[in-house]
């Protein structure tokens, strides 16, 4: 996770712009995670910052704007084993609330945890929080695939699509009339099923599931 930390720290000190103007870099981070409709730097942007940095480092992102979307991202590690760049989710207002904050682990000192994040006092910086507010520490393990093409399920689905096309073409070429129609329908069902699998896997990929 050091790579993502290195990406994030490049923006240390970046701030929102007071008044009617908006920091274009913050607006771009919203676009990077698929929310180009956000055109201001006043919408909560901690998750947009984390997501944009993960994408920049070649890692998957939930692409969500709610901090707690990272509660199921990657794999959980203990706070004692946290390393710079691990994703840390905090509760806000109340542990059971839907509200939260997400940032990157920087360091820990006793009952305090320092996080590098965005929208921390309207800026990117390292801020200290009570460790008791930590809901989860998340990490992409070294064996985690970072390229969609490396997903074995997606690979299998692609093979299934190709097989469906090949089988359908062979069957259609060898048959005629009603049998030809049946073969075409069968091949179509196989292909649709495989495409559905690909769609589901891509959805899970965005959440960190491999």
- The confidence score (pLDDT) of residue 191 equals 75
What are the b/e assignments for 135-163, b being 16+ CB within 10 Å? bbbbbbeeeeeeeeeebeebeebbebbee
* Three-state DSSP class for residue 145: coil
> What are 4-53's pLDDT values in tens digits?
999 999 999 999 999 999 999 999 999 999 999 999 999 999 999 999 99
The closest alpha carbon to 107, from 78, 84, 73, belongs to 84
- The confidence score (pLDDT) of residue 210 equals 43
- The confidence score (pLDDT) of residue 1 equals 83
Instruction: Provide the pLDDT confidence category of residue 155 given band limits of 50, 70 and 90.
Output: low
| Euclidean distance between CA atoms 26 and 167, whole angstroms | 50
- The confidence score (pLDDT) of residue 198 equals 62
- The confidence score (pLDDT) of residue 169 equals 55
Phi first, then psi, for residue 70 (nearest 5°) are -85, 5
Continuous segment of H or E residues that includes residue 194? helix 178-206
> What are 160-205's pLDDT values in tens digits?
555 555 555 555 566 666 776 777 777 777 778 767 666 666 555 4
Continuous segment of H or E residues that includes residue 106? strand 100-109
- The confidence score (pLDDT) of residue 208 equals 44
Phi first, then psi, for residue 35 (nearest 5°) are -125, 55
2-139 has which CATH code? Answer: 3.90.1720.10
Whether the predicted model's global pTM rises above the 0.75 cut: no
- CA distances for 92 relative to 38, 51, 113, 119, 143, angstroms: 22, 19, 15, 14, 32
């Amino acid at each position: 996770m050091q790579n993502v930390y290195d990406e994030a720290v490049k923006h240390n000190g970046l701030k929102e712009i007071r008044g009617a103007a908006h920091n274009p870099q913050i607006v771009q981070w919203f676009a990077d995670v698929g929310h180009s409709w956000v055109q201001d730097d006043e919408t909560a942007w901690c998750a947009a910052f984390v997501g944009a940095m993960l994408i920049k480092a070649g890692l998957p992102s939930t692409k969500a704007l709610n901090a707690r979307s990272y509660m199921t991202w990657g794999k959980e590690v203990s706070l004692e084993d946290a390393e710079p760049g691990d994703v840390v989710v905090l509760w806000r207002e109340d542990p059971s609330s839907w509200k939260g904050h997400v940032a990157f682990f920087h360091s820990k000192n006793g009952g305090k945890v320092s996080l590098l994040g965005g929208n921390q006092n309207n800026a990117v910086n390292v801020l200290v929080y009570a460790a008791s507010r930590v809901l989860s520490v998340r990490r992409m393990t070294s064996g985690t695939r970072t390229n969609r093409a490396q997903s074995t399920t997606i690979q299998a689905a692609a093979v299934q699509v190709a097989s469906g096309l090949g089988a359908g073409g062979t069957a259609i070429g060898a048959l005629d009339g009603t049998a030809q129609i049946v073969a075409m329908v069968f091949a179509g069902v196989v292909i649709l099923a495989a495409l559905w699998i690909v769609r589901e896997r891509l959805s899970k990929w965005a959440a960190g599931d491999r």
